[in-house]
Amino acid sequence: MSAAARAFGPALGLLAGGVGRAYPGAVLAVLYRGEIVLQHAVGFAAHRPAPRPATTATIYDLASLTKVVATTPLILKAAMQRRLGLDNPVVRHLPEFPHREVTVRHLLAHTSGLPAWIPFYLEAEGYEAIVARAATTPIEAPPGMRVVYSDIGFILLGEVARRALGQAIDDAACRRVFEPLAMRDTRYRPPAALRARVAPTEDGTEIEQQMAASTRERPTIEPARRHHLWRTTLVWGEVHDGNAHAMGGVSGHAGLFGTAGDLIEYARMWLARGCGPGSRVLSPEMVAEATTPQTAGDTVRGLGWALTGTQGWWGGALSARAYGHTGFTGTALAIDPEHDLAIALLANAIHLGRDRTEILALRPRIAEAVARALLPRPPA
C-alpha cells in the first residue's frame, strides 16, 4: 500500500462506511497545493431502476451548489464589469421588486429579510412567472438585521445576473465560468446522451410534498388554481428542486449538474484568486470580497459562501479562512486558502429517501480525516 493510500485510509473508510446509510454512493475529490491528490468513488450511483456503481465520472444534481458555482460568480463578474454594484438597490435592476432598501449584497449574504422558501410551483409555472412571484414576496425582517438562508433571494439574483449580463444564466455560466475552467460536465439540463452518467435523486417528490404541506410560508392556493401535478416517477436527469423544475430547469438557486472533478477545477480558480488556466475569471478583489465575513454571530456568511459557524459543513477540520457550501441532494464543497486545499464530496443522499440525516454527521468527519492526512499537525 502506498503512503498516500495509507494516509487517506481513514477518510476512505468513513466514505465507504456511509454507503447504504448516508447515501447509496459518493465521490470524494481533494485538491492540495495545486495537485489532485485523491479522486475516489464508493457504492452506487443508483439503486433504481437498476443497480449502477458510482464512478469519479458520475454526474450529480448539485442542488444549492448552483448558488456559488453559477450565480455568485456571474454577479461578481457583472460587478467587475460595472454592470451593477454590490451595494446597488435590487430595484435598480428589477423594477418590479418593491423593497427599495434591499441591495444586491443583502441577497448574496442572505440578509435581505426574505423568507427561506416558498413552493411557488404550486400556482405558477415558467421562468418568468416564478421570478415574478419571487419579486413580490414580502420581506419578514429589515434588511441586514438577520441571516435567513433564502432560495428566493437567489432566484432573484439569477434574474439580476440575466438582465445585467444580457444573457440567459445557463448560457452565461457556461461561457463565462465553465468553459474557461474546462468544467466539461457542469451544466444545467444535462442532455439525454449523458443520462447514463447522471445519478438519479428521489423516487417521486415526497420530500417537497411534505415540505409544502407543513411549511407556514406556503402561499394560499385557491382551489380553482390548483393545477400542479406532483412528479411521481424517479427524478433522473432533471433537477430535483421543485421551483427550479417549474422554471424549466434553470434558476439562480438550483439546477446545476456536475462532477466532483469539475468542482475541483472550480475551487482551483478560487484558490488562485480568480485566475483560471488560460484567463482570469474573477478579480482578486472580488474573490477577497466574496470570502470576507458579511455577517456576525453563529452564522457567518460571505457573498454566496458559508464561512465559519453553523453553516460550515466541514466542522473544525479546516482553517478559520475556509469557506464552502452544500446542496440539498447531498453535495458539498469546501475551500481552504490558508492550506491551499479543496474538498468536493458529492452524493445523491435523497435517493435513499427522506431520512438522509446521517450525511450531516458524516461529512465533517470525512473532512477531518482528509485534513489529518494532509495538513501539518501542531507540536504536542
- For 53-92, write each residue's pLDDT tens digit: 999 999 999 999 999 999 999 999 999 999 999 999 999 9
- pLDDT category of residue 223 using cuts at 50, 70 and 90: very low
pLDDT at 24 over 90: yes
Q: Are 271 and 31 in contact (CB under 8 A)?
A: yes
Q: Are strands 299-301 and 187-188 parallel, antiparallel or unpaired?
A: unpaired
- Predicted confidence at residue 201, as pLDDT, reads 96
pLDDT in tens, 111-140: 999 999 999 999 899 999 999 999 999 999
d(CA 294, CA 305): 10
Per-residue pLDDT at 49: 87
Mean pLDDT of the chain: 93
Average pLDDT over residues 237-242: 97
Q: Cα(first)–Cα(last) distance of the chain, in Å? A: 28
In the chain, % of residues over pLDDT 70: 93
Tell me what the mean pLDDT of segment 242-268 comes to: 98
Burial class for 116, CB neighbours closer than 10 Å (0-12, 13-18, 19+) = middle
Please, which pLDDT band fits residue 48 given cuts at 50, 70 and 90?
confident
Residue 217, pLDDT above cutoff 50: no
pLDDT over 50 (residue 367): yes
What number is the average pLDDT over the span 355-369? 91
Rounded (5°) CA angle 93-111-67 = 70
3-state secondary structure of 199: coil
Asked if the model's pLDDT at residue 199 lies above 60, the reply is yes
Would you say residue 359 has pLDDT above 70? yes
pLDDT band at 356 (very low <50, low <70, confident <90, very high): low
Contacts of 53 (CB under 8 A, 6+ apart): 25, 41, 43, 44, 45
pLDDT, position 297? 82
Band (pLDDT 50/70/90 cuts) for residue 229 is confident
Give me the residue label for grid cell 493510500: 5
CA distance 377 to 30: 19
Please give the grid coordinates belonging to residue 182: 474546462
Distance from C-alpha of 326 to C-alpha of 346, rounded to nearest angstrom: 9
More confident residue, 376 or 323: 323
The phi, psi pair for 55, rounded to 5°, reads -135, 170
Q: How far apart are alpha carbons 223 and 200 in whole angstroms?
A: 32
Do 249 and 238 form a contact (C-beta atoms < 8 A)?
A: yes
Q: How confident is the model at residue 355 (pLDDT cuts 50, 70, 90)?
A: low
Confidence band, pLDDT 50/70/90 cuts, at residue 27: very high
Grid cell at residue 368 = 477531518
Per-residue pLDDT tens over the stretch 148-174: 999 999 999 999 999 999 999 999 999
Amino acid of residue 162: R
Gyration radius of the chain's alpha carbons: 20
Who contacts 72 (Cβ-Cβ below 8 Å, separation ≥6)? 108, 290, 303, 304, 305
Q: How confident is the model at residue 357 (pLDDT cuts 50, 70, 90)?
A: confident
Q: What is the mean pLDDT of residues 34-47?
A: 97
What integer pLDDT is reported at residue 214 of this predicted model?
A: 65
What does the pLDDT read at residue 212?
83
Taking residues 267-286, report their average pLDDT.
Answer: 97
- What are the pLDDT digits (tens) for 299-332? 899 999 999 766 689 999 999 999 999 999 999 9
**pLDDT beyond 70 at 5:** no
The owner of cell 439574483 is 157
Cell matching residue 104: 444586491
